Chain A
């Protein structure tokens, strides 16, 4: 099957489990028109430059953080390309180039169609499991605290990068089968919160001491599924299934479990500070911040080409000229069939902005 069709299958499968009304602080339809065509033209140009200059996939992939980040920006990019003068052929090439990058970054199915987001190779997993100083005598209350911490970090990501782009700051990968290294039905899951402190976006985080949290967890007898957007579902309690863990804070092992509550409180506190700032913004400020986040996500790529990563003036001019796009809060989003057509670069069907 063509990669684009596999992509569309995985995308619509995931989107059928979402709900456009739950997007925060605005719906994507309220911001996409201001920047997606500009971004599509820009990324099309940059992808061509990579090819012309003979930049390796490995080198190019490093500019996009993680696979989930690419999978997260692709839908708007495809739609954006339909509002440009790009030919249909070029429109089709654009996601294909990103699929090539995903292949470079991934060791499993790049669309997580098998319920796994596998980045590490089997050898890397083996080395990691064998070299990690696991805490294996796990009391339920500690396992609950770890997952409380994880829920706080996930919420912080939504607060900092808004919904739908939280993967600008984290990646959950796995579940890696480690039964042959440890015990029967053991899996490893890695939650990597690699940018909880984007000071360029949120100066309020200047004194926040948490710059990375990596949580490695071993689970047993649990079926964990991860979809194309890094959404995780499972069939049993995570805390009860925890058999081992290790927490890295700013690159160092964090093993003072009595301090976990304190760490959790620090994260919750920052999440509250930023969400209060967001809730206090005017709609125009939210629109611009939303777009700033998108440009921030591509800062490494733009930096590679010697460009300023910040949102171009043209975006703000459009917001002023076109006015704010209002979508009634309770209005249902497009159907799954319409979404599939929108995200299909072969299909000219596009949303009505």
Chain B
């Protein structure tokens, strides 16, 4: 497996899913159940979409930021503070999020 991103481990768990990048509020409507929500940072406007997601990956944030706290309540993996998730990841990519180690992988082709 190839490591795509390293960040701060914010909520444990290992999950595979399809990336959906949220750049604005309109993008929130594109999130479907089981997606990996990727954003610069999350905020309270995104809670409906977050509850559909299987994992969260963000550019910014610490272990006490909004995505981290919400992910821990929901029990879904979360990696924050990757600095470049929204530029390295692409919509539709299948990735594996390891919330315990703060790593996002892609399976070798």
Query: Is A220 close to B, CB under 8 A?
Result: no
Segment of B30-38, B64-72, B85-93 engaged in the interface with chain A:
B64-72
Determine the distance from Cα of A19 to Cα of B72 in the docked complex, in whole angstroms. Answer: 17
Within 8 A of B (CB), among A223-260: 227, 229, 231-234, 236-240
Select which of A14, A25, A154 is within 8 A of B73 by beta carbon: A154
- Residues of A with C-beta under 8 A to B74: 147-148, 151
Query: Is B62 close to A, CB under 8 A?
Result: yes
Q: Report B50-76 CB contacts with A as 1/0, cut-off 8 Å.
A: 110000000011111111011011110
- Residues of B with C-beta under 8 A to A163: 43-44, 66
Most buried by B among A22, A158, A159, A231: A22
Determine the distance from Cα of A306 to Cα of B61 in the docked complex, in whole angstroms. Answer: 41
- Residues of B with C-beta under 8 A to A275: 43-45
Query: Is B22 close to A, CB under 8 A?
Result: no
CB distance from A270 to the nearest CB of B (A): 11
Query: Is A150 close to B, CB under 8 A?
Result: yes
Say whether B62 contacts A151, CB under 8 Å: no
- Residues of A with C-beta under 8 A to B63: 17, 233
Select which of B12, B43, B45, B61 is within 8 A of A19 by beta carbon: B61
- Residues of A with C-beta under 8 A to B102: none
CB distance from A82 to the nearest CB of B (A): 25
Say yes or no: A18-B64 contact (C-beta < 8 A), given A234-B72, A275-B45.
Answer: yes
Select which of A22, A25, A238, A279 is within 8 A of B61 by beta carbon: A22
Query: Is B25 close to A, CB under 8 A?
Result: yes
- In the complex, what residue of chain A is closest to B28 when comparing beta carbons? A272
Select which of A147, A229, A278 is within 8 A of B75 by beta carbon: A147
Determine the distance from Cα of A232 to Cα of B63 in the docked complex, in whole angstroms. Answer: 10
Say whether B44 contacts A18, CB under 8 Å: no
Determine the distance from Cα of A21 to Cα of B41 in the docked complex, in whole angstroms. Answer: 8
Select which of B25, B45, B60, B75 is within 8 A of A239 by beta carbon: B75
The interface size bin for chain A is 35 or more
Within 8 A of B (CB), among A181-225: none
- Residues of B with C-beta under 8 A to A278: 45
Say whether B47 contacts A155, CB under 8 Å: yes
Say whether A154 contacts B41, CB under 8 Å: no
Say yes or no: A231-B51 contact (C-beta < 8 A), given A25-B43, A154-B73.
Answer: no
Query: Is A309 close to B, CB under 8 A?
Result: no
Query: Is B48 close to A, CB under 8 A?
Result: yes
Say whether B72 contacts A227, CB under 8 Å: no
- Residues of A with C-beta under 8 A to B64: 14, 17-18, 227, 229, 231, 233
Say whether A158 contacts B66, CB under 8 Å: yes
Query: Is A68 close to B, CB under 8 A?
Result: no
Select which of B25, B47, B66 is within 8 A of A152 by beta carbon: B47
Most buried by A among B44, B45, B47, B61: B44
Determine the distance from Cα of A231 to Cα of B11 in the docked complex, in whole angstroms. Answer: 13
- In the complex, what residue of chain B is closest to A265 when comparing beta carbons? B48
CB distance from A278 to the nearest CB of B (A): 8
Binding site for B on A (CB under 8 A): 14, 16-19, 21-22, 24-25, 144, 147-148, 150-152, 154-156, 158-159, 163, 227, 229, 231-234, 236-240, 268, 271-272, 275-276, 278-279
Give 26 A-B contacts (CB < 8 Å), ordered by A residue.
Answer: A14-B64, A17-B64, A19-B60, A19-B61, A19-B65, A19-B80, A21-B60, A21-B61, A147-B73, A151-B50, A151-B70, A154-B69, A154-B70, A155-B66, A158-B44, A163-B43, A163-B44, A233-B63, A237-B13, A238-B75, A240-B75, A268-B48, A268-B51, A272-B47, A275-B44, A279-B25
Binding site for A on B (CB under 8 A): 12-13, 25, 41, 43-45, 47-48, 50-51, 60-67, 69-70, 72-75, 80-81
Beyond known contacts A232-B72, A272-B47, A275-B44: 4 more, CB 8 A cutoff: A22-B41, A151-B51, A154-B69, A234-B72
Top 6 A-B pairs ranked by shortest CB distance? A151-B73, A155-B47, A275-B45, A231-B64, A159-B44, A24-B43
